[in-house]
Amino acid sequence: MTDGLLAPPAALPRPGGEEREADRIVYDLDGIRHRYDTLRRELPGADIRFAMKACPVDDVLRALLHRGAGIDAASVPELHRAQRLGAPRSRTHYGNTVVSDRDIADAHRLGVTDFAADSLETVAALARHAPGARVYCRLMTTGRGALWALGRKFGCSREEAVRVLEAADRAGLRPSGLSVHVGSQQTDPAAWRAAFDSLDAVLTALAGRGPVPDHVNLGGGLPALGGLDRDGEAAAPPIEAILRTLREGAARLRRHHGERLRLVIEPGRHLVADHGTIHARALRLTRRRLPDGSSQAWLYLSVGRFNGLYEMDALRYPLRFPTHPADAPTVPAVVAGPSCDSDDAYPATHAPAQVPVDLASGDPVHVLHCGAYAVSYMTEGFNGFAPLPRHCTGGVGG
Q: What is the pLDDT of residues 234-287, one digit of tens each?
A: 778 999 999 999 999 999 999 999 999 999 999 999 999 999 999 999 999 999
Q: What is the pLDDT of residues 362-387, one digit of tens each?
A: 999 999 999 999 999 999 889 999 89
Query: Binning pLDDT at 50, 70 and 90, where does residue 398 land?
Result: low
Query: Is the pLDDT score of 3 beyond 90?
Result: no
Residue 367 sits in the same domain as residue 221:
no
Say how far apart CA 151 and CA 54 lie, in whole Å.
Answer: 18
Closest C-alpha to 273, from 377, 144, 182:
377
Residue 230 sits in the same domain as residue 310:
no
- Side-chain-facing half-sphere of 232: CA atoms under 13 Å: 15
**Residue range 120-128: mean pLDDT, rounded:** 98
Query: Binning pLDDT at 50, 70 and 90, where does residue 397 land?
Result: low
Q: Which residues of 94-114 are buried (b: 16+ CB within 10 A; e: fewer)?
A: bbbbebeeebbebbbebebbb
Phi and psi angles of residue 170, each rounded to the nearest 5 degrees, phi first = -65, -30
pTM of the full structure: 0.92
Query: Binning pLDDT at 50, 70 and 90, where does residue 20 land?
Result: low
222 lies in a domain? yes
Q: Which residues fall within 8 angstroms of residue 305, CB to CB, at 6 or more apart?
A: 312, 313, 337, 339, 341, 343, 344, 345
3 lies in a domain? no
Say how far apart CA 245 and CA 229 lie, in whole Å.
Answer: 24
CATH number at residue 146: 3.20.20.10
Query: Is the pLDDT score of 231 beyond 80?
Result: no
Query: Is the pLDDT score of 295 beyond 90?
Result: yes
Strands 24-28 and 353-356, bridge-based pairing: unpaired
- The pLDDT, as a whole number, for residue 151 is 77
Using alpha carbons only, give the angle 54, 55, 60 rounded to the nearest 5 degrees.
Answer: 140
- The pLDDT, as a whole number, for residue 334 is 97
Q: Are the C-beta atoms of 252 and 196 separated by less than 8 Å?
A: yes
Say how far apart CA 181 and CA 150 lie, in whole Å.
Answer: 8
Say how far apart CA 119 and CA 303 lie, in whole Å.
Answer: 41
Residue 103 sits in the same domain as residue 43:
yes
H/E stretch holding 390 reads strand 390-393
Helices (H), 73-213: 76-84, 101-109, 120-129, 158-170, 189-206
- The pLDDT, as a whole number, for residue 77 is 97
Domain boundary among 251, 271, 291: 271
Domain boundary among 271, 300, 331: 271
- The pLDDT, as a whole number, for residue 60 is 98
**Residue range 324-352: mean pLDDT, rounded:** 96
Q: Which residues of 156-188 are buried (b: 16+ CB within 10 A; e: fewer)?
A: bebebbbebbbbbbebebbbbbbbbbbbbbbbb
- The pLDDT, as a whole number, for residue 17 is 43
- The pLDDT, as a whole number, for residue 152 is 85
Residue 260 sits in the same domain as residue 292:
no
33 lies in a domain? yes
Q: Are the C-beta atoms of 253 and 261 separated by less than 8 Å?
A: yes
Residue 221 sits in the same domain as residue 203:
yes
Angle between helices 101-109 and 76-84 (to 10 degrees): 20
Q: Which residues fall within 8 angstroms of residue 170, CB to CB, at 6 or more apart?
A: none
Q: What share of the chain is helix, strand, coil (3-state, %, to 5)?
A: 30, 25, 45
279 lies in a domain? yes
Closest C-alpha to 297, from 359, 341, 367:
359
Q: Are the C-beta atoms of 28 and 275 separated by less than 8 Å?
A: yes
Domain containing 338 equals: 9-25+274-393
Residue 82 sits in the same domain as residue 202:
yes
CATH number at residue 364: 2.40.37.10
Q: What is the pLDDT of residues 175-221, one digit of tens each?
A: 999 999 999 999 999 999 999 999 999 999 999 898 999 999 999 99
Domain boundary among 245, 271, 297: 271
Query: Based on C-alpha coordinates, what's the Rg of the chain?
Result: 23
Residue 311 sits in the same domain as residue 362:
yes
Residue 20 sits in the same domain as residue 63:
no
288 lies in a domain? yes
In order of 65, 369, 382, the CA distances from 347 in angstroms are: 37, 19, 20
Residue 249 sits in the same domain as residue 341:
no
How many structural domains is the chain composed of?
A: 2
Q: Which residues fall within 8 angstroms of residue 50, CB to CB, at 6 or more apart?
A: 61, 64, 69, 70, 71, 72, 266, 267, 268, 271
Residue 255 sits in the same domain as residue 318:
no
- The pLDDT, as a whole number, for residue 227 is 82
- The pLDDT, as a whole number, for residue 233 is 75
Residue 45 sits in the same domain as residue 192:
yes
Mapped onto helix, strand or coil, the DSSP state of residue 299 is strand
Say how far apart CA 343 and CA 377 lie, in whole Å.
Answer: 15
- Specify the higher pLDDT residue, 359 or 236: 359
398 lies in a domain? no
Say how far apart CA 377 and CA 398 lie, in whole Å.
Answer: 28
Residue 14 sits in the same domain as residue 124:
no
Say how far apart CA 382 and CA 339 lie, in whole Å.
Answer: 8
